[in-house]
């Protein structure tokens, strides 16, 4: 039996384990919560992700360790490496993704365009940065933000002081120009140990309140040039890190250009559609990559729309009665703003797919999706 250890036992760890099982791979996970959702499909060690001893316990019996959360402290993956484990993706990529400044500096060094930005560590620096970048702008914590948390939009000068008061005293910050994007896209890519790079088609992501609500795969009206641009950015990052595994880049499309927003050194919510809509899912290809196995085809097999269930779940029978609708429940207790499941709707004909999406939306509780 091949065993793989995943640091983190959330829904991404759960779906990694679900992809690993048919390949005969047993997954062990490390998560601070006793009811981590991956517990039903993996052997869970309960412990802090910053606790190297707990990580060694979780990794006992595995040669290879991966992670499903970019908040895993780099000290943990380093200690595992020093104790002889192979960690994939590389710790360097994990660290870069943890700091919005390092991330944007890395993008820039690889000729990947980003929004104008400036580091901010005092109220005076914030005023200087606003003078340089103008408004509207977004103030963000450099580290630890997710689902739009740790951000304040500055539309006018009047918003500057409140934004500083909300975020500044507690953390190092970054100010970014607010991009008037046409739409948000993401590229999901995977690199094998041998350097084989594959990408899934560009997808469109719709956010509300900083949280991903819907992913449309493939994104409409993607030219071969735009796909090639995104593929090139993904390849540049993957090769830069000698990366192994799945990497996601969140992008803003402005006309024919793409600005990189952030990267995630892991499988990503905007890739959940690949379970039903692609020849090989992001989860299976991540498992294949980190275990040193050949990658599977990333071809799209069915146009798909993924709708997140945020804070509540529909009754299963209402979704399952709809043709082409695939229900995923994560087994998590619903709370406002919490991702507790998703529905992927597939359909070969555009009109059929749209009708099915309408049917799904009609039965979802109001605050979902
Ligand atoms: N510079 C920006 N310009 C315009 N919109 C932005 C900018 N930064 C973030 N956003 C919006 O906020 C969402 C969440 O921000 P993001 O930086 O991706 O943080 P998180 O780590 O919470 O995902 C983005 O998907 C986008 O909709
Ligand atoms: Mg994001």
Q: What is the pLDDT of residues 82-92, one digit of tens each?
A: 999 999 999 99
- Average pLDDT rounded to a whole number, residues 231-258: 98
Query: Rounded to whole angstroms, how far apart are CA atoms 322 and 345?
Result: 9
Does residue 50's CB lie within 6 angstroms of at least one atom of ligand 1?
A: no
Residue in 257, 271, 262, 332 with CA at minimum distance from that of residue 304? 271
Please choose from 210, 211, 269, 270 the residue to mutate so as to test ligand 1's pocket, defined by most ligand atoms within 8 A of CB. Answer: 210
Q: Per-residue pLDDT for 309 more than 80?
A: yes
Nearest ligand to the C-alpha atom of residue 177:
1
Please choose from 143, 213, 261, 263 the residue to mutate so as to test ligand 1's pocket, defined by most ligand atoms within 8 A of CB. Answer: 261
At 368, the pLDDT band (50, 70, 90 cuts) reads low
pLDDT tens, residue by residue, 208-228:
988 999 999 999 999 999 999
Distance 176 CA to ligand 1 centre (A): 10
Q: Quick one: pLDDT at residue 369?
A: 54
* Strand pairing class (43-46; 25-31): parallel
Whether residue 265 contacts residue 97, with contact meaning beta carbons closer than 8 Å, is answered with: yes
pLDDT tens, residue by residue, 133-160:
999 999 999 999 888 899 999 999 999 9
pLDDT tens, residue by residue, 160-180:
999 999 998 888 999 999 999
Query: Rounded to whole angstroms, how far apart are CA atoms 114 and 112?
Result: 7
Does residue 145's CB lie within 6 angstroms of at least one atom of ligand 1?
A: yes
| Entry field: residues in the chain | 369
- Nearest atom within ligand 1 for CA of residue 212: 25
Q: Quick one: pLDDT at residue 171?
A: 85
Q: 234 burial class (0-12, 13-18, 19+ CB within 10 angstroms)? A: buried
DSSP annotation of 341 reads E
Residue 61: Cβ within 10 Å count: 12
Measured on CA atoms in the order 272, 275, 280, 286, is the torsion positive or negative?
A: positive
- Nearest atom within ligand 1 for CA of residue 100: 17
Q: Quick one: pLDDT at residue 367?
A: 63
pLDDT tens, residue by residue, 322-363:
999 999 999 999 999 999 999 999 999 999 999 999 999 999
Q: 241 burial class (0-12, 13-18, 19+ CB within 10 angstroms)? A: buried
- Average pLDDT rounded to a whole number, residues 109-131: 97
Q: Quick one: pLDDT at residue 147?
A: 85
Distance 82 CA to ligand 2 centre (A): 31
Does residue 335's CB lie within 6 angstroms of at least one atom of ligand 1?
A: no
Does residue 208's CB lie within 6 angstroms of at least one atom of ligand 1?
A: no
- Average pLDDT rounded to a whole number, residues 241-270: 98
Q: Across the chain, what does the average pLDDT equal?
A: 97
Q: Quick one: pLDDT at residue 355?
A: 98
Distance 210 CA to ligand 1 centre (A): 7
Does residue 346's CB lie within 6 angstroms of at least one atom of ligand 1?
A: no
Plot region of 109 (φ>0 → left; ψ -120 to 50 → alpha; else → beta): alpha
pTM of the model: 0.97
- Range with the poorest average pLDDT among 18-32, 61-75, 164-178, 285-299: 164-178
């Amino acid at each position: 039996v091949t065993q793989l250890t995943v640091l983190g036992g959330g829904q991404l760890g759960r779906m990694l384990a679900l992809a690993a099982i048919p390949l005969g791979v047993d997954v062990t996970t490390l998560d601070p919560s006793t009811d981590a959702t991956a517990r039903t499909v993996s052997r869970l060690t309960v412990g802090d992700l910053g606790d190297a001893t707990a990580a060694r316990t979780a990794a006992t019996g595995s040669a290879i360790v991966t992670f499903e959360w970019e908040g895993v402290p780099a000290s943990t993956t380093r200690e595992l490496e020093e104790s002889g484990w192979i960690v994939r993706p590389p710790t360097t990529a994990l660290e870069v993704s943890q700091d919005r400044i390092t991330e944007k500096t890395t993008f820039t060094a690889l000729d990947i365009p980003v929004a104008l930005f400036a580091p901010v560590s005092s109220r005076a620096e914030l005023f200087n940065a606003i003078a340089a970048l103008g408004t509207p702008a977004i103030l963000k914590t450099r580290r630890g933000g997710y689902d739009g948390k740790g951000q304040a939009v500055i539309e006018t000068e009047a918003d500057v002081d409140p934004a500083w008061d909300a975020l500044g005293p507690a953390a190092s910050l970054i100010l970014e120009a607010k991009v008037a994007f046409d739409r948000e896209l993401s590229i999901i890519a995977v690199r094998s140990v041998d350097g084989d790079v594959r990408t899934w088609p560009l997808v469109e992501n719709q956010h509300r309140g900083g949280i991903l609500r819907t992913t449309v795969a493939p994104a409409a009206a993607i030219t071969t040039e735009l796909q090639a641009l995104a593929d090139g950015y993904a390849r540049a990052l993957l090769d830069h890190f000698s990366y192994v595994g799945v990497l996601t880049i969140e992008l803003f499309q402005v006309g024919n250009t793409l600005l990189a927003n952030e990267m995630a050194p892991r499988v990503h919510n905007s890739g959940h559609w690949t379970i039903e809509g692609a020849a090989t899912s992001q989860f299976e290809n991540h498992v294949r990559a980190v275990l040193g196995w050949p990658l599977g085809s990333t071809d799209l097999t069915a146009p798909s729309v993924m709708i997140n269930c945020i804070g509540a779940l529909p009754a299963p029978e209402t979704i399952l009665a709809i043709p082409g609708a695939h229900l995923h429940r994560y087994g998590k207790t619903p709370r406002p703003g919490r991702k507790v499941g998703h529905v992927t709707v597939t359909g070969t004909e555009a009109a059929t797919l749209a009708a099915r999406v309408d049917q799904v939306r009609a039965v979802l509780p109001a605050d979902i999706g």
